[in-house]
Structure 1
Protein backbone atom coordinates (compact mmCIF):
# COMPACT_ATOMS: atom_id res chain seq x y z
CA UNK A 1 0.00 0.00 0.00
CA UNK A 2 1.25 3.48 -0.90
CA UNK A 3 1.97 6.09 1.75
CA UNK A 4 -0.54 8.97 1.84
CA UNK A 5 0.30 11.52 -0.84
CA UNK A 6 2.35 9.01 -2.83
CA UNK A 7 1.11 8.58 -6.41
CA UNK A 8 0.19 5.05 -7.45
CA UNK A 9 1.82 5.51 -10.85
CA UNK A 10 4.66 7.64 -12.29
CA UNK A 11 3.99 11.37 -12.58
CA UNK A 12 4.95 14.08 -15.04
CA UNK A 13 6.79 16.93 -13.31
CA UNK A 14 6.95 20.57 -14.38
CA UNK A 15 9.70 22.91 -13.23
CA UNK A 16 9.80 26.65 -13.79
CA UNK A 17 13.15 28.28 -14.49
CA UNK A 18 14.22 31.75 -15.58
CA UNK A 19 16.85 30.70 -18.04
CA UNK A 20 16.23 30.39 -21.75
CA UNK A 21 19.86 29.48 -22.41
CA UNK A 22 19.70 26.35 -24.56
CA UNK A 23 22.88 24.84 -23.09
CA UNK A 24 21.58 25.27 -19.51
CA UNK A 25 18.19 23.82 -20.45
CA UNK A 26 19.91 20.89 -22.17
CA UNK A 27 21.96 20.22 -19.03
CA UNK A 28 18.82 20.36 -16.85
CA UNK A 29 17.05 18.00 -19.24
CA UNK A 30 20.00 15.60 -19.18
CA UNK A 31 19.89 15.52 -15.36
CA UNK A 32 16.11 15.09 -15.42
CA UNK A 33 16.26 12.28 -17.99
CA UNK A 34 18.82 10.44 -15.87
CA UNK A 35 16.57 10.83 -12.81
CA UNK A 36 13.58 9.49 -14.76
CA UNK A 37 15.67 6.53 -15.99
CA UNK A 38 16.75 5.72 -12.42
CA UNK A 39 13.25 6.22 -10.94
CA UNK A 40 10.71 5.11 -13.58
CA UNK A 41 8.28 3.96 -10.89
CA UNK A 42 8.10 7.56 -9.57
CA UNK A 43 8.51 9.92 -12.52
CA UNK A 44 7.67 9.54 -16.20
CA UNK A 45 8.96 12.94 -17.39
CA UNK A 46 10.27 16.34 -16.34
CA UNK A 47 9.38 19.43 -18.38
CA UNK A 48 11.11 22.78 -17.95
CA UNK A 49 9.05 25.94 -18.37
CA UNK A 50 11.02 29.13 -18.95
CA UNK A 51 9.58 32.31 -17.47
CA UNK A 52 11.49 35.53 -18.25
CA UNK A 53 13.53 36.70 -15.27
CA UNK A 54 11.86 40.11 -15.06
CA UNK A 55 8.41 38.45 -14.75
CA UNK A 56 9.48 35.35 -12.89
CA UNK A 57 8.28 35.89 -9.31
CA UNK A 58 5.05 37.57 -10.38
CA UNK A 59 4.27 34.75 -12.82
CA UNK A 60 5.13 32.09 -10.25
CA UNK A 61 2.93 33.63 -7.55
CA UNK A 62 0.11 34.00 -10.10
CA UNK A 63 0.42 30.29 -10.95
CA UNK A 64 0.31 29.45 -7.24
CA UNK A 65 -2.75 31.63 -6.62
CA UNK A 66 -4.48 30.18 -9.68
CA UNK A 67 -3.97 26.57 -8.61
CA UNK A 68 -1.50 25.87 -11.42
CA UNK A 69 1.67 25.67 -9.36
CA UNK A 70 4.70 23.92 -10.86
CA UNK A 71 6.02 20.86 -9.07
CA UNK A 72 9.48 22.43 -8.79
CA UNK A 73 10.68 26.01 -9.14
CA UNK A 74 13.68 28.24 -8.85
CA UNK A 75 13.04 30.86 -6.20
CA UNK A 76 15.12 33.98 -5.82
CA UNK A 77 16.87 34.23 -2.45
CA UNK A 78 15.46 37.72 -1.96
CA UNK A 79 11.94 36.23 -1.88
CA UNK A 80 12.80 33.33 0.45
CA UNK A 81 11.00 34.67 3.56
CA UNK A 82 7.76 35.27 1.65
CA UNK A 83 7.75 31.85 0.01
CA UNK A 84 8.76 29.99 3.18
CA UNK A 85 6.05 31.67 5.26
CA UNK A 86 3.39 31.36 2.52
CA UNK A 87 2.56 27.72 3.14
CA UNK A 88 3.01 27.01 -0.58
CA UNK A 89 6.20 24.98 -0.15
CA UNK A 90 6.62 21.38 1.00
CA UNK A 91 8.90 20.51 3.93
CA UNK A 92 11.79 18.64 2.32
CA UNK A 93 13.68 17.80 5.50
CA UNK A 94 11.95 14.45 6.23
CA UNK A 95 12.59 13.17 2.70
CA UNK A 96 16.22 14.30 2.68
CA UNK A 97 17.05 13.09 6.18
CA UNK A 98 15.11 9.85 5.66
CA UNK A 99 17.02 8.83 2.55
CA UNK A 100 19.82 6.45 3.56
CA UNK A 101 21.66 7.14 0.29
CA UNK A 102 21.77 10.89 0.93
CA UNK A 103 24.08 12.57 3.45
CA UNK A 104 22.01 15.46 4.78
CA UNK A 105 24.90 16.52 7.00
CA UNK A 106 26.88 17.47 3.88
CA UNK A 107 24.65 20.53 3.47
CA UNK A 108 26.17 23.73 4.82
CA UNK A 109 23.82 25.05 7.53
CA UNK A 110 24.30 28.68 6.50
CA UNK A 111 23.13 27.81 2.96
CA UNK A 112 19.89 26.46 4.39
CA UNK A 113 19.05 29.25 6.82
CA UNK A 114 16.95 31.31 4.38
CA UNK A 115 14.83 28.27 3.60
CA UNK A 116 14.15 27.03 7.13
CA UNK A 117 11.21 27.69 9.41
CA UNK A 118 11.39 25.93 12.76
CA UNK A 119 12.44 22.37 12.01
CA UNK A 120 11.20 22.55 8.41
CA UNK A 121 13.36 22.98 5.31
CA UNK A 122 11.31 24.39 2.44
CA UNK A 123 13.82 24.68 -0.37
CA UNK A 124 17.10 23.13 -1.36
CA UNK A 125 19.80 25.51 -2.56
CA UNK A 126 21.53 23.98 -5.56
CA UNK A 127 24.21 26.68 -5.52
CA UNK A 128 25.58 29.17 -3.07
CA UNK A 129 25.83 32.58 -4.64
CA UNK A 130 28.93 34.45 -3.56
CA UNK A 131 28.52 37.77 -1.79
CA UNK A 132 31.45 40.16 -1.68
CA UNK A 133 32.24 43.47 -0.04
CA UNK A 134 33.90 45.99 -2.30
CA UNK A 135 36.56 48.42 -1.18
CA UNK A 136 35.78 52.05 -1.67
Structure 2
Protein backbone atom coordinates (compact mmCIF):
# COMPACT_ATOMS: atom_id res chain seq x y z
CA UNK A 1 0.00 0.00 0.00
CA UNK A 2 2.74 2.45 0.96
CA UNK A 3 4.73 1.51 -2.12
CA UNK A 4 1.78 2.20 -4.43
CA UNK A 5 1.13 5.50 -2.68
CA UNK A 6 4.78 6.49 -3.01
CA UNK A 7 4.76 5.58 -6.72
CA UNK A 8 1.58 7.61 -7.27
CA UNK A 9 3.16 10.61 -5.53
CA UNK A 10 6.30 10.25 -7.67
CA UNK A 11 4.21 10.14 -10.86
CA UNK A 12 2.22 13.20 -9.75
CA UNK A 13 5.42 15.07 -8.86
CA UNK A 14 7.10 14.23 -12.16
CA UNK A 15 3.94 15.22 -14.07
CA UNK A 16 3.99 18.56 -12.25
CA UNK A 17 7.59 19.16 -13.18
CA UNK A 18 6.91 18.08 -16.77
CA UNK A 19 4.05 20.58 -16.94
CA UNK A 20 6.25 23.30 -15.47
CA UNK A 21 9.07 22.53 -17.90
CA UNK A 22 6.62 22.45 -20.82
CA UNK A 23 5.19 25.82 -19.75
CA UNK A 24 8.69 27.29 -19.45
CA UNK A 25 9.72 26.04 -22.89
CA UNK A 26 6.42 27.18 -24.44
CA UNK A 27 6.98 30.66 -23.01
CA UNK A 28 10.47 30.85 -24.57
CA UNK A 29 9.55 29.63 -28.06
CA UNK A 30 7.78 31.71 -30.71
CA UNK A 31 4.64 30.60 -32.50
CA UNK A 32 5.54 30.34 -36.17
CA UNK A 33 2.03 31.32 -37.33
CA UNK A 34 1.13 34.16 -34.96
CA UNK A 35 2.78 37.52 -34.86
CA UNK A 36 4.88 38.02 -31.76
CA UNK A 37 3.20 35.40 -29.58
CA UNK A 38 4.77 32.61 -27.62
CA UNK A 39 3.61 29.01 -27.94
CA UNK A 40 2.02 29.38 -24.51
CA UNK A 41 -0.05 32.40 -25.63
CA UNK A 42 -1.06 31.14 -29.06
CA UNK A 43 -4.27 29.29 -29.90
CA UNK A 44 -3.10 28.37 -33.41
CA UNK A 45 -3.24 24.66 -34.33
CA UNK A 46 0.49 24.67 -35.11
CA UNK A 47 1.23 26.04 -31.64
CA UNK A 48 -0.87 23.27 -30.08
CA UNK A 49 1.08 20.70 -32.12
CA UNK A 50 4.38 22.25 -31.04
CA UNK A 51 3.32 22.18 -27.37
CA UNK A 52 2.34 18.51 -27.81
CA UNK A 53 5.79 17.78 -29.28
CA UNK A 54 7.39 19.47 -26.27
CA UNK A 55 5.33 17.31 -23.88
CA UNK A 56 6.20 14.14 -25.79
CA UNK A 57 9.90 14.92 -25.89
CA UNK A 58 9.95 15.79 -22.18
CA UNK A 59 8.18 12.50 -21.43
CA UNK A 60 10.89 10.70 -23.45
CA UNK A 61 13.48 12.24 -21.13
CA UNK A 62 15.00 14.84 -23.43
CA UNK A 63 16.51 17.94 -21.86
CA UNK A 64 15.18 21.44 -22.42
CA UNK A 65 18.29 22.30 -24.44
CA UNK A 66 17.78 19.27 -26.69
CA UNK A 67 14.17 20.31 -27.32
CA UNK A 68 15.20 23.92 -28.05
CA UNK A 69 17.84 22.63 -30.46
CA UNK A 70 15.23 20.42 -32.16
CA UNK A 71 12.89 23.35 -32.76
CA UNK A 72 15.75 25.63 -33.80
CA UNK A 73 16.97 23.05 -36.29
CA UNK A 74 13.46 22.65 -37.67
CA UNK A 75 12.32 26.30 -37.73
CA UNK A 76 15.56 28.31 -37.50
CA UNK A 77 16.80 30.71 -34.81
CA UNK A 78 13.65 32.83 -35.26
CA UNK A 79 11.69 30.28 -33.20
CA UNK A 80 13.52 31.44 -30.06
CA UNK A 81 12.52 34.65 -28.33
CA UNK A 82 16.17 35.15 -27.42
CA UNK A 83 18.00 34.23 -30.63
CA UNK A 84 21.74 33.65 -30.23
CA UNK A 85 24.24 36.28 -31.37
CA UNK A 86 25.60 34.75 -34.57
CA UNK A 87 26.21 36.01 -38.13
CA UNK A 88 22.67 35.24 -39.28
CA UNK A 89 21.17 37.27 -36.42
CA UNK A 90 23.57 40.23 -36.34
CA UNK A 91 21.08 42.44 -38.14
CA UNK A 92 18.41 41.50 -35.61
CA UNK A 93 20.65 42.40 -32.65
CA UNK A 94 22.55 45.37 -34.11
CA UNK A 95 19.96 46.80 -36.52
CA UNK A 96 18.17 49.04 -34.00
CA UNK A 97 21.48 50.53 -32.80
CA UNK A 98 22.67 51.12 -36.38
CA UNK A 99 19.40 52.88 -37.22
CA UNK A 100 19.64 54.98 -34.06
CA UNK A 101 23.22 55.99 -34.88
CA UNK A 102 22.22 56.83 -38.47
CA UNK A 103 19.38 59.01 -37.16
CA UNK A 104 21.72 60.89 -34.82
CA UNK A 105 24.26 61.35 -37.62
CA UNK A 106 21.58 62.73 -39.97
CA UNK A 107 20.26 65.06 -37.27
CA UNK A 108 23.79 66.30 -36.47
CA UNK A 109 24.52 66.89 -40.14
CA UNK A 110 21.31 68.83 -40.69
CA UNK A 111 21.81 70.97 -37.60
CA UNK A 112 25.46 71.67 -38.31
CA UNK A 113 24.66 72.59 -41.93
CA UNK A 114 21.93 74.90 -40.71
CA UNK A 115 24.36 76.64 -38.32
CA UNK A 116 27.03 77.04 -41.03
CA UNK A 117 24.65 78.52 -43.58
CA UNK A 118 25.69 82.04 -44.48
CA UNK A 119 23.18 84.63 -43.40
CA UNK A 120 22.79 87.42 -45.91
CA UNK A 121 21.61 90.76 -44.58
CA UNK A 122 18.31 92.19 -45.79
CA UNK A 123 18.39 94.78 -48.53
CA UNK A 124 17.00 98.23 -47.67
CA UNK A 125 13.84 97.41 -49.67
CA UNK A 126 13.35 94.16 -47.70
CA UNK A 127 13.95 96.00 -44.42
CA UNK A 128 11.31 98.60 -45.33
CA UNK A 129 8.81 95.91 -46.26
CA UNK A 130 9.46 94.00 -43.02
CA UNK A 131 9.05 97.17 -40.99
CA UNK A 132 5.77 97.93 -42.78
CA UNK A 133 4.48 94.42 -42.10
CA UNK A 134 5.48 94.63 -38.44
CA UNK A 135 4.03 98.10 -38.07
CA UNK A 136 7.32 99.73 -37.11
CA UNK A 137 9.58 102.31 -38.62
CA UNK A 138 12.31 101.40 -41.08
CA UNK A 139 15.90 101.96 -39.78
TM-score by length of 2: 0.24
- Higher RCO structure (Cα 8 Å, ≥6 apart): 1
More helix by share: 2
Structure label with greater radius of gyration:
2
> Greater share of strand residues, 1 or 2?
1
